[in-house]
Amino acid sequence: MSPPRFIPGHEVPARPRDSALLFAAHGLELLVAERDTTVRIPTCAELPELATGAHFLGTLGDVDCYAASFPKDISPPEGMKLVPARGLFNRLDESLFGVAGRALAIAEWDATHRFCGRDGQPTVLVPGERSRRCPACRTPYYPRISPAVIVLITRGDSMLLARNANFPGAFFSTLAGFVDVGESLEETVVREVKEEVGVELKNLRYFGSQPWPFGRSLMLGFTAEYAGGEIQVDGQEIAEAGWFTPDTLPQLPPRMSIARQLIDTFIAQVKARSTPA
């Protein structure tokens, strides 16, 4: 059975929302109902006070989805708790995790733009679009999206993978970083790679993209070939890095991430080259 399709929206539908899913977020934490080893997203009926002012996200299959900010100074209802959203990787199916990522961004935007940054006036929701606006100076505030690049560097049948010093766990992944002001995506890739591992690149190619809730970013994936230099990790973001083949793989990132898509695609290409015709 194919996963349910998510159709985004912002206009609140004229139908009861009791059975709708309510993604209540605080920062990068999400409120979930937990029982034994399973978790689920609560419904609006279970969180009526939050549901009243919740933002409509869209429909997942035939289920409406809403997002709301959860105040950290109140206790979650019995049977529920705030958990780091990153820890839900393998506990929610991919469709739900994607909606959860959208909810994290919408909840943060709503919570951090209640007042205008120019004149301090309370902002109001704008009908017909996802924005808040200052009624005094008319400055609009939209959900923030931060572009970031991620790249898999290859050398023959090997790929350069690194372990980020700030990430939990011991998995190795591709290199990534946020786009700086005035940079093209290609310039960002070259700069980030040089800063983090000290090598040169050639044959940079676009791979694909993925919205990413951690950092509220849009990840833009690339592949590149090694062009020279010795690996020299920066010692701050990157703890260690090295060349790996499909036969010498370290612990890898989750399959739903674009980093894993880059890695798996390269592994498939290497195996296809080594298979006799």
Question: What pLDDT, in 10s, does the model give residues 157-195?
Answer: 999 999 988 776 688 999 999 999 999 999 999 999 999
Does residue 251 come out as left (phi exceeding 0), alpha (psi in the -120 to 50 range) or beta?
beta
Residue 212 lies in a domain: yes
Judged against a pLDDT cut of 90, whether residue 137 lies above it is answered with yes
* Unique residue bearing structure tokens 């090694």: 226
pLDDT digits (tens, 9 = 90+) for 151-164: 999 999 999 999 98
Q: Based on the domain organization, do 72 and 164 belong to the same domain?
A: no
Residue 246 lies in a domain: yes
- Sorted by sequence, the CB contacts under 8 Å of residue 250 that are 6+ apart come out as 161, 163, 170, 171, 172, 244
Q: Cβ of 197: how many Cβ atoms within 10 Å?
A: 21
Residue 25 lies in a domain: yes
Which range has highest mean pLDDT (87-101, 119-133, 210-224)?
119-133
Q: Please provide the size of the chain in residues.
A: 277
Judged against a pLDDT cut of 90, whether residue 36 lies above it is answered with no
The DSSP bridge partners found for residue 58 are: 8, 65
> Virtual CA dihedral for 209, 168, 104, 117, nearest 10 degrees?
-100
Interval 17-31 mean pLDDT = 92
Domain range spanning residue 150?
146-274
Percent of the chain at pLDDT exceeding 90: 67
Confidence band, pLDDT 50/70/90 cuts, at residue 1: low
**Is residue 93 within 8 Å of residue 38, measured between CB atoms?**
no
What pLDDT, on a 0 to 100 scale, did the predictor assign at position 126? Answer: 93
Residue 243 lies in a domain: yes
Q: Based on the domain organization, do 139 and 154 belong to the same domain?
A: no
Q: Based on the domain organization, do 103 and 188 belong to the same domain?
A: no
Residue 211 lies in a domain: yes
Quote the mean pLDDT of the chain: 91
3-state secondary structure of 173: strand
Q: Which residue, of 65, 90, 112, is where some domain finishes?
A: 112
Confidence band, pLDDT 50/70/90 cuts, at residue 277: low
Q: Based on the domain organization, do 178 and 133 belong to the same domain?
A: no
**Is residue 231 within 8 Å of residue 241, measured between CB atoms?**
yes
Q: Which residue, of 88, 123, 143, is where some domain finishes?
A: 143
Q: Based on the domain organization, do 16 and 53 belong to the same domain?
A: yes
Strands 63-69 and 21-26: parallel
Domains of the chain: total: 3
Judged against a pLDDT cut of 80, whether residue 215 lies above it is answered with no
What pLDDT, on a 0 to 100 scale, did the predictor assign at position 214? Answer: 67
The DSSP bridge partners found for residue 223 are: 152, 205
pLDDT digits (tens, 9 = 90+) for 84-114: 887 787 788 888 888 998 999 999 999 999 9
Q: Which residue, of 102, 123, 143, is where some domain finishes?
A: 143
H-type alpha helices, the chain = 48-52, 94-112, 185-197, 258-274
